[in-house]
Amino acid sequence: MKDDETYRQRAEILKALAHPTRLWMVDRLAQGEECVCQFVEAAGVDFSTISKHLAVLKRVGIVEDERRGKQVFYRLQAPCVVGFFHCVDAVLREETTSECALCQQREETNELA
């Protein structure tokens, strides 16, 4: 089942998250919606760059957008992705079994996939 469609789809979502700027944007959106121009100002990069990053996140369903007047506001459609970071950071700190909430949860349910 190596070329299972499921793995391809999961990879799409992880790939969409796997960029520093996009992770930064997700982090900000965890505290509430924000419009494109706010990201541009805070990041100091080109408008088109931010817009494309947001399009990547939108394409896989992590964020959704809403136009209000001239501005387009983005918010998290899948806020659970923020929970990833706990586990990612656990990997970074090499706390790979004890302190990661995900690990604990997994051991409880013993559900592997």
Partner DNA sequence: CCATTATTTGGCTAAATCGCCAATAGTTGG
Partner DNA sequence: CCAACTATTGGCGATTTAGCCAAATAATGG
Interface with DNA (CB under 7 A), residue from 14, 42, 55, 102: 55
Count the neighbouring beta carbons within 10 Å of the beta carbon of residue 72.
14
Tell me the H-state helices in 1-113.
5-17, 20-29, 36-43, 47-59, 81-92, 101-109
**Nearer of residues 70 and 109 to a copy of itself, judged by Cβ:** 109
CB of 101 to DNA, least distance (A): 28
Choose the contact partner of 27 out of a copy of itself, DNA, none; CB within 5 to 8 A by kind: a copy of itself
Binders of a copy of itself among residues 21 to 80 (CB under 8 A) are 21-24, 27, 30-31, 42-45, 60-62, 77-80
Q: Which residues, including other chains, have CB under 8 Å from residue 99's CB and lie 6 or more apart? A: 90, 93
Query: Could you say whether residue 3 binds a copy of itself (CB under 8 A)?
Result: yes
CB 25 within 8 A of CB 53: yes
